[in-house]
Structure 1
Amino acid sequence: MSEDLNQVEVTTFEVGDVVKGQITKVEEKQVYIDVEGSKLSGIIPISELSSLHVEKASDVVSVDDMLTVKVKKVEEDALILSKKEIDADQAWDDLQQKFETGEIIEAEVKDVVKGGLVVDIGVRGFIPASLVEKFYVDDFTEYKGKQLTFKVVELDRDKNRVILSHRAVVEEEIETKKQQLLNTLHEGQVLEGTVQRLTNFGVFVDIGGVDGLVHISQLSHNRVEQPAEVVEVGQEVNVKILAVDRDNERISLSIKETLPGPWSNISDKLKAGDILEGTVKRLVSFGAFVEVLPGVEGLVHISQISNSHIGTPHEVLKEDQSVKVKVLDVNEDEKRISLSIKELDENVKEEVESNYQALEENTGFQLGEVIGDKLNEFK
């Protein structure tokens, strides 16, 4: 009679039926399950537990777990069941939706294989090495067992092909952070950043998730030929925001404006009466601008250039010429320095006349007899 009852039970199931049951025993290569509404034994072979390779059934399930499974085969005294197929059916529907919406999924890395990583998301998901991170990874060993977030980038159910990307999630997070940061930036703000790249025209600085450009002219108060003269990759720098173009995601920065200017505390560096070596930078109709300190120019008015009458500064000076100058006045507030070349010539003349006067008194010779008309050169 028991055999007739079993026969009745068997005939109530067909291949493809979906049933529920509770695990009663877990062996190394198979699992026994008590199927609801049936007195037949339910068996799940280890190959039907997961879409991935499983060493022991206990790695996937435990006694008393409730499972939804699919009938793979109907035998006289048992039902051969598959957890893998149920997981796959649910996974494909779920993955299709996430693929269409761009939704992020999370899963544990089950294995590291040649060319990338493998995860179990109801079906086998593969992450190519190039889609793991934004940067190059030489060894993926540490990724095994790690929880990662992914986006589905390729889906082909017929070929059982699922390609995932962790890099896409990272890039999306960076872009979101970038937009948030752009909305908080404003002209005049001073921030700390890290030098990322050097180019011939300037330096790109990361200011917290977005790069801004420091043009070569904004690197220093002094003239810079190559950015490598003043900064290096990885260096921490303070920058001031000059402009923010949110539409084009461009940020103009300045290092120069965060540094003390060449005129800062100039009154402590220069005083009236100082004699300096300078370089003629510009000649104008009313005088010559002479650089006396890096980035600091003073004016030698045309009346202070020569003891002789001149029509234009060009008659006696040229650009890039080295000259000695005397400081007449320093105005730090207005960034103005008055200089003189003529006064140094007058000092030389007075010194020469004084020396020859002493010679006349000591020798009895007249000054004119000794130097003739040489003194006329100073008149």
Structure 2
Amino acid sequence: MSEEMNQVEVKNFEIGDKVTGQVTKVEEKQVIVDIRDSKLDGIIPISELSSLHVEKASDAVSEGDLLDLEVLKVEEEALILSKRKVDAEKSWQDLEKKFQSGEIFEAEVKDVVKGGLVVDLGVRGFVPASLVEAHFVEDFSNYKGKTMTFKIVELEKDKNRLILSHRAVVEEEKGKQKHQILDSLQAGQVLEGTVQRITDFGAFVDIGGIDGLVHISQLSYEHIDKPSEVVSEGQSVQVKVLSVDRNNERISLSIRETLPGPWSDIAEKAPKGSTIKGTVKRLVSYGAFVELFPGVEGLVHISQIAHKHIGTPHEVLKEGQEIEVKILEVNEKDQRLSLSIKELQEKEDQYITDYELPEESTGFQLGEMIGDQLKNLKK
């Protein structure tokens, strides 16, 4: 076509017109297209090929590709076109729907930049570092080329602002999983779990996507001052479900109740008639509670503390005192032990008491005899 005819043809187009063009030549910094239904060629500068930075035009298009384009400039013999603007317009409409519905979709990470990730959705989408994962990530270099799921969390077309989040997807899935687990849990269940976090008052255990609390009192049968004495982060543990509060999403767990109880096989550990060392734990008006094993206490009734009569156990015992006791009775079912201290002590020698009484009596008789003799002398 002559130069004059080209000029006439060009005048049929205006800025903003939509055209279709077929790629006839891919140069390093621009692409030449044959505009359908005309005899004109169009030029797409490399900057108008994609919403993302493109090093070479061949990275974005190939010869023979049929493209939807928008007229940017009308020059004397050619049209300057944009693929990016048409793609963006289509994309914004689609993205607006996704944003309104909260749709989760897949996309490939095109680049890793300072502060986050870049995703091409027809427009440039940005994923801030804080919205990539639910956990902290130090190095994002291996995320380039990775296909991930995203949700749109901010969209402002006028400012060309599109913020995506993978973290929101992870947390949403966790939330669904959490509710499923909450619905399925029942008190009394025994489950495998992993210790996630240790605090002063207990340990949080992950039981498959949801954490439950093992209070310090439910960690062990033995008294402990700190949870770290018996569990550590990352440790696998068996837990029993004590209660489930679905409204507040709270689960109470016990490790202690999955362990053999301290009273288990107590008749073998403390057989009737045997002698065992223990520690006085509590003194009450009717006796003393003595700990024989962690979590196992028995009662020494006040009548079994000493042979002599005592008003209160405090007269002969004190808390924390180490003593020996004899096992009188063992009741594993009711978790009761009857103990005795006095049965391990010798009785006071009754012989001495019996001997003293006649001596007093003899003394009395001698006095009488002397008195009688004096009477006789007076006569």
| Partner Cα distance (1:216, 1:57) in 2 | 65
**1:60 and 1:174 mapped to 2: Cα distance?**
37
Query: Which residue of structure 2 aligns with residue 201 of structure 1?
Result: 201
Partner secondary structure for residue 318 of structure 1: coil
> Which residue is equivalent to 1:227?
227
Counterpart contact for 2:3–2:77, Cα < 8 Å: no
1:333 is aligned to 333
- Cα distance in 1, alignment partners of residues 34 and 259 from structure 2: 78
Matched letter for residue 196 of structure 1: Q
What residue number does 1:363 align with?
none
Partner residue, 1:119: 119
Cα deviation, residue 93, structure 1: 2.1
> What TM-score, normalized by structure 1, do the two folds share?
0.86
AA aligned to 1:48 is E
2:243 is aligned to: 243
Distance (whole Å) between structure 1 residues aligned to residue 3 and residue 280 of structure 2: 115
2:178 paired residue number = 178
Segments of structure 2 that go 5 or more residues without pairing to the other structure are: 357-379
Supply the AA of the counterpart residue of 1:223: H
Q: For 2:126, what is the secondary structure of its paired residue?
A: strand
Query: Structure 1: which amino acid aligns with 2:33?
Result: I
Alignment of 1:28-107 (within 5 A): 28-107=28-107
Amino-acid identity (%): 69
Give me the whole-angstrom Cα distance separating, in 2, the residues matched to 1:31 and 1:284.
97
Q: What secondary structure does 2:84 align onto?
A: helix
**How far is 1:285 from its partner?**
4.3
Amino acid at match of 1:208: G
**Structure-1 residue corresponding to 2:167:** 167
State the SS of the aligned residue for 1:183: helix
CA drift of 1:4 comes to 6.2
More deviation in 256-265 or 27-36?
27-36
Q: Match of 1:125, SS? A: strand
Provide Cα deviations, 1:2-27, integer angstroms capped at 9, x if missing partner. 56654554333222111223323322
Distance 2:177 2:60 in 1: 38
Q: Which residue of 2 aligns with 1:317?
A: 317
SS class of match (2:251): strand
- 1:376 is aligned to none
Secondary structure of 2:248 counterpart = coil
Equivalent position of 2:362 in the other structure: none
Which whole-Å CA distance do the structure 1 matches of 2:307 and 2:330 have between them?
Answer: 23
Letter in 1 for 2:88: A
1:131 aligns with 2:119: no
Report the Cα offset of residue 251 of structure 1.
Answer: 0.7
Q: Which residue of 1 aligns with 2:299?
A: 299
Which position in structure 2 is the counterpart of 1:287?
287
Partner Cα separation in structure 1 for residue 272 and residue 183 of structure 2: 50
Structure 1: distance between partners of 2:62 and 2:149: 26
Q: How far apart, CA to CA, are the structure 2 residues paired with 1:251 and 1:93?
A: 44
Aligned length: 354
Matched, 1:267 2:264: no
Residue 157 (structure 1) aligned with residue 157 (structure 2):
yes
Amino acid at match of 1:339: L
How far off its partner does 1:254 sit? 0.6
Give CA-to-partner distance per residue, 1:220-276, whole Å, 9 cap, x none: 111111111111111111111111111111111111111111011222212123211
User: Which whole-Å CA distance do the structure 1 matches of 2:246 and 2:19 have between them?
Assistant: 57
- Displacement of 1:290: 1.4
Q: Which amino acid aligns with 2:318?
A: K
Q: Which residue of 1 aligns with 2:213?
A: 213
Partner of 1:14: 14
Cα deviation, residue 304, structure 1: 2.1
Distance 1:229 1:134 in 2: 30
User: How far has the Cα of 1:311 moved from its partner?
Assistant: 4.2
Q: Distance in 2 between matches of 1:208 and 1:22?
A: 54
Task: Quote the Cα distance in structure 2 between the aligned partners of 1:34 and 1:190.
Answer: 71
Give the 3-state SS of the residue equivalent to 2:159 in structure 1. coil
- AA aligned to 2:170 is V
Alignment root-mean-square deviation, CA:
2.4
SS of structure 1 residue aligned to 2:93: helix
Cα separation, 1, equivalents of 2:9 and 2:265: 100
Q: Secondary structure in 2 aligned to 1:158? A: helix
- For 2:52 and 2:339, the matched residues in 1 are separated by 85
Bigger CA radius of gyration: 2
Q: Does 291-300 or 243-252 show the bigger shift?
A: 291-300
1:233 partner amino acid: E
